[in-house]
């Protein structure tokens, strides 16, 4: 695997704006499309929303939506159930790359409306927080130029290789933003944040979820005495540090493996303490943090870098996979 | 190098000061367990004064940031739509405001000042398995490959079932899936347990049978 000229000359501390001007790989975007499509298939086929409708759940107090209440009521009665089917079909099409642009738009509309209902009934932010933005970027990105039905049946136009990079960097920046936001929400306002770091919040959560935790399934009891306080102080500080560390991804590419490991460790620990669900979302979303060069991007670059700490300007040469085909 | 580190540290402090102010403007639902102390007038004055250098710095950097944005090889439509969405999310984070589809990601960020009680109650499903042993049902467990009793139960369904565990719909769903495996109807009981170990405390347990839709949404 060869490293591009621009990347080999670029300093390690490349910020996200600079990285967005590097060449990317159509296969990178294609992999993201396939994995996200697969994940959305599981979302649309989940029994969660039909169960909420069967309960029937009511709007959770304190939740707010950008949708007008009248529309939400109409959607709950007439749109959500059919949109689950429509979204399922569209996400399958997105996954295989068939009529991809249309499929992305339909998936986005179905996803936003159905997840609005889900959020309003259970108040938790879930994968919609990650993937609404991803789908929005997909609308403008050439996500079907590789490994798709569209690429098989239609002649593809050649594009600058940077067209495959900026979407990945934007989605990666969004992912980093969410984790930084989680750290910020815990620490700010500072008067509240100092109290949060005392560990009682995590201690209470762990004590509440003890019977749902992996430790309880495996051991038949808690991992340790949950009335002992100091481990939760440590866990609180470590969790905030792991979340805030995501900001380094925006400025320093080499931080990615460490930040990803820290976040995976955090989610795995939380899952073992009884809150499952976010590790799989992160694993899907963190594909945006993978190196495009892992996908064999060997686009030739001009000789000079116009900005000292930034790599190349947009390269008009097509990505090699497309040029070859 | 040292100058750069100092500069980054100063900017980080100024941003932290600004975030401290913006996150205090709107009361968040996560504050309901902890009443954040109010600022004195002199604290407001100092903190607001410290916003000014950040504004000046931002104004100085704005042309460079705009130039960097314009230099991005991004279609204008994408820049406007995705940029606006990104900016709105940043605004919601700064204000700790949750308006779907934007969120400050404030789950589990509530401050608590006391430890959990040594003994507390929980509503649990009890199931008699094939070996006639009483087992505690964990919806989270049923959503993983370690599932014991239920099929087709992903983590989202588990979250809903946990939150609405005492409703007729959840009870019926669990009963149906158990019946498909030849297992009897589950019991829903209020069960005291030790928060030290999670082990249930022996004794009489209050039983609950959901007969009407829309019972309590809280599992405890």
Per residue in B123-147, pLDDT tens?
999 999 889 998 999 998 888 888 8
The three-state secondary structure class of B102 is strand
Under 8 Å between Cβ of A144 and A172: no
Cα torsion A22, A25, A29, A32 to 10°: value is: -100
Tokens of A132: 């609404």
Interface probe with A: pick from B102, B141, B155, B176, most Cβ of A within 10 Å: B155
Helices (H), chain A: 5-9, 16-19, 26-44, 48-54, 69-74, 80-96, 100-122, 128-138, 149-153, 166-187, 190-196, 200-208, 214-219, 230-244, 247-251, 256-272, 278-285, 320-324
Q: Which chain A residues touch B157 with a CB distance below 8 Å? A: 46-48, 51
* Residue B103, pLDDT score: 95
CB contact under 8 A, B139 and A21: no
pLDDT tens digits along A113-144: 999 999 999 988 899 999 999 999 999 999 99
Please tell me which residue of chain A has the smallest CA distance to B71.
Answer: A313
Q: Note the pLDDT of residue A297.
A: 59
- Distance (Å) from the alpha carbon of B56 to chain A's nearest alpha carbon: 22
Q: Identify the pLDDT of residue B211.
A: 57
A182–B101 C-beta distance less than 8 A: no
Chain A partners within 8 Å of B111 (Cβ): 192-193, 195-196, 198, 201
**pLDDT < 50: residue spans in chain B:** 212-220
- Find the CB nearest B195 among A115, A213, A226: A226
The reported pLDDT for the residue numbered A124 is 82
Interface probe for B, chosen from A11, A45, A46, A51 (most Cβ of B below 10 Å), is A51
> Which residues, 6+ apart, have CB-to-CB distance to A194 below 8 Å?
none
Pairwise CB contact (< 8 Å): A162 & B73: yes
Residue-by-residue DSSP string for A164-200? GTHHHHHHHHHHHHHHHHHHHHHH-SHHHHHHHTTSH
Nearest beta carbon to residue B73 from set A21, A207, A274: A21
What pLDDT band is residue A319 in, cutting at 50, 70 and 90?
Answer: very low
Residue of chain B minimizing CA distance to A243: B105
Q: ipTM score of the complex?
A: 0.90
**Chain B residues with beta carbon closer than 8 angstroms to that of A38:** none
**Of residues B101, B115, B167, nearest to A128 (C-beta):** B101
Model-level pTM? 0.89
Whole-number Å distance between alpha carbons of A302 and A74? 56
The verdict on a CB contact (< 8 Å) between B73 and A166 is yes
Q: Which residues of B touch A178 (CB under 8 A)?
A: 105
Instruction: Please judge whether B90 and A177 are an interchain contact, meaning their C-beta atoms are less than 8 angstroms apart.
Output: yes
What is the DSSP secondary structure assignment for residue B134, as one 8-state letter?
A: E
Chain A residues in contact with B85 (beta carbon < 8 A): 133, 136
DSSP A20: T
Q: Both tokens of residue A220?
A: 């038949």
User: What is the predicted pLDDT for the residue at B218?
Assistant: 45
- SS3 call for A240: helix
Say whether A212 and B110 touch across the interface (CB within 8 A). no
For A25, A161, A168, A315, the CA distances from A290, given in Å and listed in that order, are: 11, 16, 9, 21
């Amino acid at each position: 695997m060869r490293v591009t000229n621009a990347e080999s000359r670029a300093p390690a501390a490349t910020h996200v704006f600079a990285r967005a001007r590097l060449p990317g790989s159509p296969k990178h975007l294609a992999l993201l499309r396939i994995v996200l499509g697969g994940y959305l298939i599981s979302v649309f086929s989940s029994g969660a929303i039909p169960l909420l409708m069967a309960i029937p759940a009511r709007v959770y107090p304190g939740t707010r939506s950008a949708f007008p209440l009248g529309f939400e009521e109409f959607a709950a009665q007439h749109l959500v159930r059919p949109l689950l089917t429509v979204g399922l079909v569209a996400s399958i099409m997105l996954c295989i790359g068939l009529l991809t642009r249309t499929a992305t738009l339909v998936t986005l509309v179905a996803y936003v409306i159905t997840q609005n209902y889900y959020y309003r009934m259970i108040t938790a932010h879930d994968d919609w927080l990650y993937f609404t933005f991803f789908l929005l970027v997909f609308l403008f990105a050439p996500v079907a130029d590789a490994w798709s039905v569209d690429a098989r049946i239609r002649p593809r136009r050649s594009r600058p290789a940077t067209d495959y990079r900026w979407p990945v960097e934007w989605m990666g920046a969004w992912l980093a933003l969410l984790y930084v936001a989680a750290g910020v929400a815990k620490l700010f306002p500072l008067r509240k944040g100092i109290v949060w770091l005392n560990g009682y919040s995590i201690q209470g959560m762990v004590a509440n979820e003890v019977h749902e935790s992996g430790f309880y399934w495996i051991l038949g009891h808690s991992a340790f005495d949950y009335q002992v306080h100091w481990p939760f102080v440590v866990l609180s500080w470590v969790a905030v540090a792991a979340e805030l560390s995501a900001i380094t991804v925006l400025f320093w590419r080499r931080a990615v493996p460490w930040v990803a490991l820290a976040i995976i460790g955090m989610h795995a620990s939380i899952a073992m303490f009884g809150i499952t669900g976010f590790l799989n979302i992160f694993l899907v979303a963190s594909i945006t943090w993978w190196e495009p060069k892992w996908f064999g991007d060997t686009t030739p670059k001009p000789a000079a870098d116009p900005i000292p700490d930034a790599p190349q300007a947009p390269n008009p040469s097509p990505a090699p996979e497309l040029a070859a085909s | 190098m040292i100058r750069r580190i100092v500069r980054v540290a100063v900017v980080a402090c100024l941003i932290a000061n600004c975030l401290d102010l913006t996150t205090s403007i709107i009361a968040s639902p996560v504050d309901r367990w902890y009443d954040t102390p109010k600022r004195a007038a002199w604290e407001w004055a100092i903190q607001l004064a410290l916003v000014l250098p950040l504004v000046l710095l931002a104004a100085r950097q704005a042309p460079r940031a705009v130039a960097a944005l314009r230099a991005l090889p991004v279609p204008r439509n994408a820049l406007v739509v995705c940029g606006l969405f990104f900016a709105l999310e940043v605004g919601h984070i700064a204000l700790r405001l949750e308006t779907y589809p934007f969120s400050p990601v404030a789950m589990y960020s509530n401050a608590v000042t006391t430890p959990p009680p040594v003994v507390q109650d929980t509503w649990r499903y009890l199931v008699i398995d094939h070996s006639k042993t009483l087992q505690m049902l964990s919806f989270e467990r049923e959503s993983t490959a370690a599932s014991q009793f239920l099929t087709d139960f992903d983590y989202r369904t588990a979250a809903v079932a946990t939150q609405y565990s005492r409703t007729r719909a959840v009870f019926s769903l669990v009963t149906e899936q158990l019946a498909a495996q030849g297992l009897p109807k589950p019991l829903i009981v209020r069960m005291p347990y030790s928060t030290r170990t999670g082990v249930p405390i022996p004794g009489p347990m209050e039983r609950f049978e959901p007969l009407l839709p829309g019972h309590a949404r809280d599992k405890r």
